[in-house]
Structure 1
Amino acid sequence: MRIMLAFIFLSVCNYTIANDSIVIRNLSALRIEEAPKIDGFLDEEVWKGAEIATDFTQGEPNPGESPSQKTEVRVLYDDEAIYIGAIMYDVSADSIMRQLSNRDDEENTDVFAVMLDTYNDDQNAYGFVIHPTGVQWDARYSASQGQDVSWDAVWKSEVRIDATNWYVEMKIPYSAIRFSKEEVQTWGINFGRKIRRFREFNWWNTLNPEIDGFVNQFGQLNGIRGIKSPVRLAFIPYVSTYYENYKDPAAGTSSDAYSINGGMDIKYGINDAFTLDMTLIPDFGQVQSDNQVLNLSPFEVRFDEKRPFFMEGTELFNKGGLFYSRRIGGTPAGYYDVGDQLESGETITENPNEVQLINSTKISGRTKRNLGIGVLNAVTARTFATVKDSLGVARAILTEPMVNYNVFVLDQTLKNNSSISLINTHVFREGDKMDANVTGSELKLRNKKNSVSFDMGGVLSQKYYNNPDSLDLGFTYGMKLGKIGGNLQYGVWYFAESDTYDPNDLGFLYNNNETGTGAYLNYNVYKPYWIILRSWSSIEVNYGRLYKPDKFASFSMAANVGATFRNYMTAGMFVNYQPVETYDFFEPRIWGRYYTNPVDVNFGGFFSSDYRKKFALDGNGNLRTYDESGRYRLNVTLEPRFRLNDHLSFQYEIESYNFINDIGYAAIDSVDNIIFGKRDLLTLINELEAAYIFTNRMGLSLRVRHYWSTATYKDFFVLDHSGYLTDSDYSGEDDAGSLLHNVNFNAFNIDLVYTWVFAPGSEIKIVWKNSILHQGSEIADDYFKNFEELGDLPQTNSFSIKVLYYLDYLSLRRKNRKV
C-alpha cells in the first residue's frame, strides 16, 4: 500500500494542465481526370500537383513532440475513388519492422493509416491501414463503441520499400464508404504512422491524450466536389463441404456425417447513406470454437460473437447494450427439457444444440442530419429433438419454435460529441410461446471542451404470454456525471434495475433486482517523467443494494496504479477491499434467501514486457483472502510469446485458478433446506496459438485449448435465514454411495485453419476441428493423468472446406463494357 500511495503522489507531483483546445489542420484534395496506377511508385504527374500533408506530431511515446522520421501524404480523388499516396522516410529502412500477419491482425510491424470521417460529425469514421508487407487492416470507429475491427471493405493498396523509404499507394473506392449528397463536401481526416522499432505512433492532426475522444481530433479534408455514391451492390456466394466423425472409445461406437452447403451474402447500397446486408442460409461452422467453462454460478456464461455477419457493421445495434447476437441461432430453449418429456422405454436419438439460422438482414446508415438508423431482422427455423421407443418408433419433440428477432435503433448525433439514442429489440415466437419487447433510450452530453460528460438512460422490458392479461413489465435506469478530460478525472454514477427487468430474450444481463452507486477518481500522466513513459492511478468506491425489497447488498473500495516504463515494460497493481460483510441474494437459488459473505481483501498485479523483442512475457496474479479460516483464492497467469521470424510465431498461455475452501450452493435436501458446500475448485487452462504466414494473402493458424476444472466437496452446511451456515447431516452421496457433487470437467479444442485470399473479398478456408467436452464425477489424480485419459472420452473431428467469391456489380459492368 505504501508503494501504491507513493506512486500516486509522484504522479500528482508531475501534474500538467491539460490543453483542452483541439487544433484543426486543413488539407485540400486534388481532383484528377486520370487515375494513377496503384503500384507503390507514386511517379505519375498527378501526385506532384497534390498538396502535401506533413509535419506529423507524436501521439506516443512523447505526445506533441516531433517524430523521429518524416512522413508525407497526398490525397487525390476522381468520380470513382479517393487515392492516398504516402512516403514514409526512414534513415534505417533496413530496420523497418515487417512481421507478416493475417488481415486485420496487428503484429510487430510498422504501419501507415488513413482515417476518414466522411460526414464530418466528429463521431464516426473509417480506418484503412497498411503494413510494409502489404497486409491490409480496416475498421470502423464510433464515439460510443470505439474500434470495430470486424468491419471489412474491398479496397486496393500496394507497398514498396527501397533503401531509404517505404511507400504506400491506396485506392479507396466510394463503394467502400458512405458520404453525403452535398455538391461540396468537407471530410474529417487523419493520417497515422507507427514506427514499431521506436514504439512511436505519429499523427498528422495531433491527438492529445488529455482530450477524450479520437474522431473529434481529426483534421479536415477540403476541396471534394461533385462526387456521387455509386451503385453499391455485391454478391458473396459460398459453397462448403463438411466431413464429421463422432467417436466414443468407451462405447466402441463411431459415426460419420457428410454435408454440402451453399448460400450467399448480399450487400446493397440503398442510397448514398444506407446499406442493406443480407445473409441467406449462412454457414458458420468454421468459426473459432467457444471457450467452454465449468459453470457452478447461478448465472449463464456469456460467449463472444465470432460469426462474421453479426460482427461486421454492428456498432449502431450495440447502442445501449441491449443486443446480444448469440441469442440468434443459439441453444434451443427446450434443449435441456427433452429428458423430462420421455415416455416409458424411449431414448433420445437426436437433440440439436444449435438452432438453424434461415436468414438475417441489416439496414444501417446515417442521414445528412446525422441521424443514424439501423434495422436488423433474423429468422430461425423450428428445431426438433428425436426420440425412439423400444420398438424403434420415432417421434419429434419441439425444442424451439420458429422465431423472428428484430432490432431497431435511432442515434442522433448532437453538438460537442454528444448523442441521443432510441433502441428497441423484439422477439416474436411462433404459436403460443412467450414474446418479448425491450425499449431503451440513452443520452450522452459533452461540454464544448469535451472535458465534462453527463450520461443517462433508461430501459423498459415487456414479456407477453399466451394469456392476453399476462404481461411482465420491468425497467432499469441510470446516470453518470464526470470530468473526462485532462490528467485528473473523476465522476459519480447510479443505476437501478427492477426485480422484473429482463432483457435476455435478445440481450444479456447476469442478474436484475439491484441498485448501485459509486464514485471514482483517476489520475493519468501522459508525458514521460523519471523512468516512466506514462502512468495511471485510480481509486473507486462502490455501494450496492437489493432493489426489492430494499436491502443492503455490498460495499467495496478499490485502488490501482500502473505505468509503462522507458524500457517498455508495463506493470501495475491493484487492491479491492470489502470491509464489511456483504450479502449474495443470488447464490442460494431461492428468492428471498441470501448468503453472507465474510470481509475480504483482494490484491494483485500484472506485467507485460516489450513485444518488439523476439521473446516477450506477460503475467498477472492475485490473492483474495477472506476473514474465514483457510479460505482464499489464488490465481496466476503466464503468457510467453515467441517470434521466430517474420513468418512464424507462437503464443502460449497457462492459467491457474485455485479456490480453496470455497463456499457455494450445492443442493436442496429432502426437507427443502438449502445446502451449501465447502469445496476446492481447481482450474488449469493451457492454450497454444501458432501462426505461419506464407504471404500477405495466405496463412496457417493453430489454436489448441485445454480447460480442466475440478470441484472437490469437503463438507456440507445448511444455509439459515440469517445468511449464515450451520451444521448439516447431508452427505452429498446417493443411495449407492456415489458422490453427487464432485466434478471433473474437460473441454479440449483444436482449431487448425488455412486461409488463402485469392482475390479481393474472396477466399478459400480449410479447417480441421477437434472437440472433447466431458463432465464426470471421478477426479483425476493430477493433470497428466487427466490429460492421458482424454483419448478415452467421446470426441468430434470435423474437416471442412469453404469457398467465398466476391462479385462486385460495378466491376462486372466495366468488364462487360470492355467486351
Structure 2
Amino acid sequence: MHKNLNISFLLFLITHFFYSQEIVNSNKKTVSATRIKSQINIDGNLDESEWENAEIATDFFMLDPDNGKSIPDELKTDVRILYDDDAIYVGAILKDSEPNLILKEITERDNFGTADLFGVLLNGYNDGQQEFQFYVNAANGQADCNFTSQNGEDYTWNAIWTSKAKITSEGWVVEMKIPYAALRFSNEKKQTWGINFFREVRRKRQKFTWNFIDAKIGAFSQQAGILTGIENIKPPTRLFFIPYASGYHNVNKLDNELTGKLGLDIKYGINDAFTLDAILVPDFGQTKFDNVVLNLGPFEQQFNENRPFFTEGTDLFSKGNLLYTRRIGQVPNVTIDVRDDEEIKDFPSTINLLNAIKISGRDKDGLGIGFLNAITEKTKASAYNEAENKHRDVVVAPLTNYNVTVLDQRFNQNSSVTLINTNVTRDGSFRDANVTGVLFDLNTKKNTFNASGDMKMSSVYDVEKNYSGYNTSLYLAETAGKVRFSSGVNYISKEYDPNDLGINFQTNYTSWSNNVNYRILNPTKIFNTFRINLNSYFEYNNVSGKIQSNNFNVNFSSTNKKNHYFGGGIDYSPFKNYDYYEARQDGRFVIYPDTYGSWVYFSSNYNYKFALDINPYFTNTSEKDRYDYGITIGPRYRFSDRLSIVYSFDIYKQFNNVGFIDSDASEIYLAKRNRETYTNSITGKYSINSNMNFNLSVRHYWSYAENNSIHTLNNDGTLTENNTYSENKNSNFSTWNLDLSYSWWFAPGSQLSVLYRNNANTFDRNINKDFGSNFSNLVSDNLNHILSVSLRYYIDYNQAKNWL
C-alpha cells in the first residue's frame, strides 16, 4: 500500500513539475503573405511588381556566435512572401558590402559546401514540433530537410521545389517556389504557420535568424515567428510516381554478367498529414559501399544504412532505437541443417527484398503514425555431396515479413509519449520475434528541464525455446543556461533480444551515467565557442554485481576567433572491468585492467582553400607493455569552387591486446596479440553546376593481428599461458573500394547516374608485413568491376493530369 502511495506521489510531482510551468513570452515576430494571381518567374531577379507590394521581414538577429546581436547594416536582409493556389514564394535580398568575398562553392544537393546560405523554415501547423526547411546557397545549390524537435534535422528527406540564386553588386538574391505538395498543413480557411528565416555568412562564420532564437534554451523550432495572410488554399493531391530503369555490367576473373532492372516507386499523400511510400522491384545497386573492418570482437560490425527507402523520412521509426534496417535483406545467418558428408555451395550474399511500404506523418493534433512493412524472399543455398555427386537445396532464409508500427503523441509543443512495436515473422519452422516499447520525452514549458525514458520488452519464439527480456531507462537533465547536467540509469535483463529487427550488443547489466557541462553563450576575447564536459559511467553485471565498464572523462571543444576548431579529452577507468562477452560462453568472463588515455583534435577553418584535420590519441594500462595509440590526419584542398579533394590517413597500433581466438569442449583460448591497422581514403568532387556532379570515393583498409602468446582462460577471469595450442589464429585482412560516379539532376526529382565501381578483399592467416606486397596481392587479378547506369524520372500527378 505504501509503495503504491509513493509511486502515485512521485508521478504527481513529475506531472506538476513538467506541466504547471508558465508559457514563455516569446514576443514572436509576424509577417503576412500576399496573394497573387499572376505568374512568378523563378529567375533570381525579383522584378515582378508583386514583390514590391509584399510585406518585408527584416531586422535579423545573430544566432551564432554572438547570440542576440542585431545584424549589421552591411548585411541587411529583407525577405518577402507571396502565395497562390499552388505554392508559396520566397524572395530574399541579402546585402553584403563585400560581394566579391561571398563564398560560393558548387556542390551536389543537400551539401552546403563552403558557401553563403539562405533558408526558410516552415511549420504548417505552427506547433513548434516539425519544420520543413529549404536552403539555397550562393552557388545556387539546394538542400532540404525535415526537422523534428526530438530527432533534429533529417537531410535524407527530399522535396520537389525550385529556386534561383544570383550574386549582385550589392550582395546576392534568392528566389524560391515551394509547392504545397512539399508541405503539411490543415484544411482550415485561414492558415497560421510557424516561420523563420536563416542566413549564414560563411566567410565570417556568422549565422542569423529573423525571429530571435535564444541559444540558452535551445528548442529552436519553438522559437519561430508567425506567418499569416494565407487563406483559401487546399492541400493538393500528393501522388508521385518514380519509374526507373537500370543496367549493370559485372566483370571479374570468374564471371562476366549483364543484368537490367525496371521498377517503380510510389509516394501518395493519404491526407494532409500522412504519406504512403512504396517500392516495387527494389534496386539498391548504386548504394554506397560499406566500410568493412577486421572484426575480432564478440559482436557483429554495425553498418550505416545507405538504401534511400530506409533512410528517407524515418524519424518516427527511429524511436527507441529498435530498428536496424540492415536486418532487412542482410546476409543469411541461420544455422544450416547439412549432413557430415555435405558442404555448402553457392551461399547467397544477400536476400532479395520483394517489396516494402511505409506510411508516416503527423496530424494537426500532434499524433504521429508510422507503419513500415517489408517482405524478403525465400532464399536457398546448395548442399553438395561429392561422393554421390548430388546437390540438394537448403533454405538459408525463409519468406520473411518485417513490420514496424509507431504511435507518437506530441503535446505542449515540446514533449511526447510513444508506443512502438517491431515484429519479424518467418515462414515455416523458423524463429519469430516481437519487441514492444513505451517511451516518454517530457520538457518543461520553458525548456529548462527534461525527463525521458523507456520500457521495452522483447519476445523470441524459437524452434527450441521461447524467452522474453526487458530494457528500461530513466534520464533527467537540465537543458538551459551555461551550466547543464544530466543523469541516467539503464537496466537490461539477460534475455533482452531485439536483434531480429534491431541491434543490441550487451545485456544483463545496469548502468549509471552522469554529465556536467559548461559552455559560453557569447564570444569572448579568445573563443567564439567553448564547451567543457565532465562525464562518468559505471556498468554492473546484474548477476554477479561485478563492474563490466567504468570511466571518468573530461573533454572540451572550442573554436577560436579565426574559426579554427580545437578539442581534446582525458579518459580514466580506475577499476578493473569484468568482460562477460569476450569469452563467448555464458557465465565466463575476462578481466581487463584499469586504463587511462587522452586525445586531441584540431580542425582548421574550412573556409581556406587548404585545411587540415589531425587527431592523435593513446590508451595505456596498468599491465606492462599493454597499450595502444594512433593518429588520423586529413588534409583537404579546394582548388576552385568546382573542384576539391580530401585525403584521410589513419594508423592504429595495439600492443598485447587480449582477445578470443578459439574454444573446445573444455577450454577457452585467448591470445595476446599485436595489431596494426592502416586506412587510406580519398574523396573528391568536380561540379559542373549544382545539378551535375562527378564524385570519387576510394578506401583501402589493411589490418593484421599477430598472436604473441596463447592463453587459457581461468574460471576467475585470469589467464594462464598455454604452450600446447598450435593452430595458426593470426589474421590478415585487406579490402579495397573505388566508386567513380556521375550524377545529373536533369529535372526536379529526376536523375541520371552512371557509376563505375571496383572492389576486392582478401583474408589470410599468414602475415606479410610489407605494405606494397599486401596491396599488390589485394588488387592483382582479384578486382570485381561493375559499370551501372540508372535513370529515375519523377512524375507529379498534378502535372501529369495536365499532360493528359
Question: TM-score, normalization: structure 2?
Answer: 0.95
Q: What is the alpha-carbon distance in structure 1 between the residues aligned to residue 590 and residue 24 of structure 2?
A: 48
1:37 partnered with 2:31: no
CA pair 342-105 structure 1, distance change in 2 beyond 3 A: farther
Aligned to 1:616: 611
CA RMSD of aligned residues (A): 1.6
Deviation per CA, 1:602-660: give whole Å up to 9, x if none.
11111110000000001112110000001101021011111000111000111111111
Q: Counterpart in 2 of 1:16?
A: none
- Counterpart residue type for residue 174 of structure 2: V
Q: Deviations along 1:761-789, whole A, 9 cap, x unmatched?
A: 11111111111121101212222221122
3-state SS in 1 of match to 2:50 = helix
Residue 69 of structure 2, aligned match among 53, 65, 68 = 65
- Give the alignment partner of residue 713 of structure 2, picking from 719, 741, 748: 719
Partner of 1:341, secondary structure, is coil
Q: Distance in 2 between matches of 1:512 and 1:425?
A: 19
1:507 maps onto 2:502 in alignment:
yes
1:360-759 correspondence to structure 2 within 5 Å: 360-390=356-386, 393-466=390-463, 470-669=465-664, 672-733=666-727, 739=728, 741-759=729-747
Name the counterpart of 2:18.
none
Overall identity of the aligned pairs, in %: 39
1:795 is displaced (CA, Å) by: 2.7
Q: Per-residue deviation at 1:696?
A: 1.2
Once the two structures are overlaid, the 10-residue window that deviates more, 178-187 or 627-636, is 178-187
Q: Which amino acid aligns with 2:425?
A: F
What is the aligned partner in structure 2 of residue 303 from structure 1? Answer: 303
Which residue is 1:351 aligned to?
347
Amino acid at match of 1:558: N
- Write the letter of the residue equivalent to 2:372: L
Q: Distance in 1 between matches of 2:344 and 2:660?
A: 30
Segments of 5+ residues of structure 1 without an aligned counterpart are 1-18, 248-253, 734-738
Q: Kindly indicate whether the alpha-carbon contact (under 8 Å) linking 2:489 and 2:513 is maintained by their aligned counterparts in 1.
A: yes
The answer to whether the Cα contact below 8 Å between 1:380 and 1:404 also exists between their aligned partners in 2 is: yes
Helix, strand or coil for the counterpart of 2:229?
Answer: strand
Provide, for residues 283-324 of structure 1, a one-character-per-residue CA deviation record: whole Å limited to 9, x for no partner: 001011000011011011110011011111111111111111
Offset from partner CA, 1:458-489 (integer Å, 9 cap, x none): 1010112357xx43111110000110111100
Q: Structure 1: how far apart are the matches of 2:407 and 2:726? A: 53
CA distance in 2 between partners of 1:158 and 1:215 (Å): 26
Secondary structure, counterpart of 1:224 in structure 2: coil
Q: SS where residue 234 of structure 2 aligns?
A: coil
Paired letter, 2:435? V
Q: How many Å apart are 1:349 and its aligned residue?
A: 4.1
CA displacement, residues 651-679 of structure 1 (integer Å, 9 cap, x when unaligned): 0111111111111112115x621111100
Deviation at 1:263, TM superposition (A): 0.6
Question: Per-residue deviation at 1:388?
Answer: 4.3
Measured in 1, the distance between the counterparts of 2:591 and 2:272 equals: 59
- The match for 1:241 is 247
| Equivalent pair of 2:471/2:493 in contact (CA under 8 Å) | yes
- What is the Cα deviation at residue 342 of structure 1? 5.8
Task: Report Cα offsets for 1:369-424 as digits up to 9, x if no partner.
Answer: 11001101111111111344447643321110111111100111111511111111
Judge conservation of contact 1:238–1:263 (CA < 8 Å) in 2: yes
CA distance in 2 between counterparts of 1:182 and 1:502 reads 46
Within 1, Cα distance between the matches of 2:219 and 2:738? 39
Aligned to 1:202: 208
Q: Equivalent residue of 2:774, what SS? A: helix
Q: Residue 99 of structure 2 aligns with which residue?
A: 93
CA separation in 1, counterparts of 2:225 and 2:206?
20
1:328 and 2:328 matched: yes
Q: Within 5 Å, give how 1:135-150 maps onto structure 2.
A: 135-150=141-156
**Letter matched to residue 719 of structure 2:** L
Secondary structure at the residue paired with 2:510? strand
In the other structure, the counterpart of 1:7 is none
Residue 246 of structure 1 and its aligned partner are, at CA, apart by 2.2
**One-letter code aligned to 1:397:** V
2:4 is matched with none
Residue type of the partner of 2:759? S
SS at match of 1:811: helix
Q: Deviations over 1:196-240 (max 9, x none)?
A: 111111111122221122211211111222211111111000010
Write the deviation string for residues 98-119 of structure 1: whole angstroms up to 9, x where unpaired: 1111111121011110111112
Bigger mean CA deviation after superposition, 64-73 or 357-366: 64-73
The one-letter code of the counterpart of 2:459 is Q
Q: Secondary structure at the match of 1:722?
A: coil
**Match for 2:318: what amino acid?**
N
Return 624-633 or 524-533, whichever deviates more. 524-533
> CA-to-partner distance for each residue in 1:744-771, whole Å, 9 max, x for gaps?
1011100111101111111111111111
Structure 2, gaps ≥5 residues long? 1-22
Residue in structure 2 matching 1:128, options 126, 134, 152: 134
Matched, 1:278 2:278: yes
Matched, 1:771 2:759: yes
Q: CA deviation at 1:550?
A: 3.8
Residues 114, 392 of structure 1: alpha-carbon distance in 2 compared, 3 angstrom cutoff:
farther
Letter in 1 for 2:773: K
Distance 1:246 1:686 in 2: 24
Q: Give the whole-Å Cα distance in 2 for the aligned partners of 1:789 and 1:509.
A: 36
2:306 match: secondary structure? coil
* DSSP-derived class of the 1:225 partner: coil
Structure 2 CA distance for partners of 1:732 and 1:211, relative to 1, 3 Å: farther
**Paired amino acid for 1:222:** T
Query: How far apart are the structure 2 equivalents of 1:555 and 1:39?
Result: 59
Structure 2 CA distance for aligned equivalents of residues 781 and 503 of structure 1? 40
Deviates more, 1:214-223 or 1:353-362: 214-223
Structure 1 position 161, deviation (Å): 2.1
| Secondary structure, aligned partner of 1:433 | coil
> Does the CA-based 8 Å contact 1:653-1:688 persist in structure 2?
yes
8 A contact 1:113–1:129 mirrored in 2: yes
Instruction: Tell me by how many angstroms 1:343 deviates.
Output: 5.7
Cα distance, 1:553 vs structure 2:
2.4
- Give the one of 193, 199, 217 matched to 1:193: 199
Q: Which moved more, 1:503-512 or 1:32-41?
A: 32-41
For residues 463 and 346 of structure 2, what CA distance do their matches in structure 1 show?
29
Partner of 1:485, secondary structure, is: coil
1:262 equivalent to 2:262? Answer yes
What is the SS of the residue equivalent to 1:788?
Answer: helix
Return the match for 1:780 from 759, 768, 783. 768
2:127–2:413 Cα contact (<8 Å) kept: no
**Deviation of residue 192 (structure 1)?**
0.6
Q: Which amino acid aligns with 2:731?
A: V
Distance in 2 between the 1:754 and 1:732 partners? 51
* CA contact 1:21–1:449 (8 Å) conserved in 2: no
Task: Answer yes or no: is the 8 Å Cα contact 1:35–1:78 preserved in 2.
Answer: no
Residue 562 (structure 1) shift: 2.1
